[in-house]
Amino acid sequence: MKRVRLPLLLLMLLLPLTSSCGFRDIDKRFFVIAMGIDQPSNGAKGFNVTLRLAVPSPKIEPGSGKNQVVSIQATSIAEAVRLLKAHVDKELDFGHCKVFMLGEGLARNNHTDMLRWLSRRRDVQSVAYMAIGHPDAKSILNIAPPDERYPGNTLFLMFGKDGTQSSYLVPVYVFDFIRRTEERGIDPVLPIIRAEGKSYVITRLALLDKTKLVETITPAQTETYSQIRNQDSKSTVAAVKDGDTMVINVDRISSHYKIVKANGEHVLRLHLRVSGIFEEAPLGIYEANWDKLEELFNEQIASEIEKLFKKVQHAGVDPFGFGLRYRATHAGSPQTWKDWERIYPNLKFDIHVRVKIDGTGLVK
């Protein structure tokens, strides 16, 4: 009898502990799959917070993904999340939220308040993606692509590159965005999402300083950034000859640079090597002088890279991490950073590009 009483007593003692641990069954949770933060439209202080919630469905087929979008305005992000709990009948769970989106207006003003909430919230994944919504995050989250199999699948495939592989799309993780915001010598970047019908388009990159958005770059410059920073081989390089555009599909790419001092000036020397086959070219390219074609590519690509470097330099930001490289190769003292702040606005660029044509494709 005593052997039976002891387990029963232990079970009775454990019941109060399990009932107060805050556990919720899966059918009593709303999984947040994307979150958007905008400036209030009426000029008031605070934030307009939008959550995209997944509605469970037994079907997994194109168009079967169901979502519920809720939005509210509050003086802080934490207060907005608490208020949104009063608009739904289930507990909000951020454990599956893979996209955090800033409205363009908020990004141009100040994005530091969002980072304070993201870095402290314990159920936010550090490997979630960050982006900027144009013109605002709410309008982007309200889009429901007709071919979406389950909630949020379209954005997840685009950023995760499990589906499309685009050189115009540069995924940015939460942990990397926070690191770039706090680290001296490298500044944050974010992809810009805009609506096109009932789908998304991501071709441009936003350049930010430590607090706000300061510049955006074109799709071509975004591809160049991806090639230099990430050595993206799923890309192309182009050149124009006699009015005809020639495009090479990149098979292999490598880039490296160093900062040297020459003739009393600091110079950044970049070496970019590219090889691939023609994807688009006029007929007769097979008989042309490939050495001259390669030289044409070298000159035009180097010119475009220099324009991009000068653009970010003029904007006063460093998305490539040149300053971080300078700090890493010089004495670790406060004076090193002061020297770089003086050097960067006047830094010269020496670009060397070497393109190797491997073939002309299926036809001559």
DSSP collapsed to 3 states, 210-266: CCCEEEEECHHHHHHHHHHHHCCCCCEEEEEECCEEEEEEEEEEEEEEEEEEECCEE
Q: What is the pLDDT of residue 140?
A: 94
> Using CA atoms, how far apart are residues 53 and 27, in angstroms rounded to an integer?
13
Pairwise CA distance, residues 15 & 272, whole Å: 65
Residues listed for the chain: 364
β-pairing verdict for 29-38 and 47-55:
antiparallel
Average pLDDT, the chain: 88
Cβ atoms within 10 Å, residue 14: 10
Q: What is the pLDDT, as a whole number, of residue 24?
A: 64
> What's the Cα-to-Cα distance from 198 to each of 8, 34, 89, 231, 251, rounded to whole Å?
59, 17, 28, 32, 33
Query: Tokens 């799309």 sit at which residue?
Result: 169
Kind plus residue range of the DSSP H or E element containing 143: none
Closest CA to 265 of 335, 185, 344: 344
Which of 154, 104, 160 has its CA nearest to residue 128?
160
User: CB–CB of 231/250 below 8 Å?
Assistant: no
Would you state the pLDDT for residue 226? 95
- On whether the CB atoms of residues 107 and 208 are closer than 8 A, the answer is yes
pLDDT of residue 19: 46
Backbone angles phi, psi at 341, to 5 degrees: -60, -30
Q: Which residues pair with 194 in a beta bridge?
A: 134, 201
Phi and psi torsions of 255, nearest 5°:
-145, 145
What is the Cα gyration radius of the chain?
26
Q: How far is CA 163 from the centre of its chain?
A: 16
The secondary structure of the chain in percent helix, strand, coil, rounded to multiples of 5, reads 35, 35, 30
Q: Is 205 helix (H, G, I), strand (E, B) or coil?
A: strand
Low-confidence ranges of the chain (pLDDT < 50): 17-21
Instruction: Enumerate helices (H) and strands (E) in the chain, giving the number of each.
Output: 11, 13
- Which residue matches tokens 């960067």? 344
Confidence at residue 27, expressed as pLDDT on a 0 to 100 scale: 65
Show the CA angle centred on residue 237, arms to residues 308 and 288, nearest 5°.
Answer: 130
| Token pair 């939220």: residue | 97
Residue 3, pLDDT score: 59
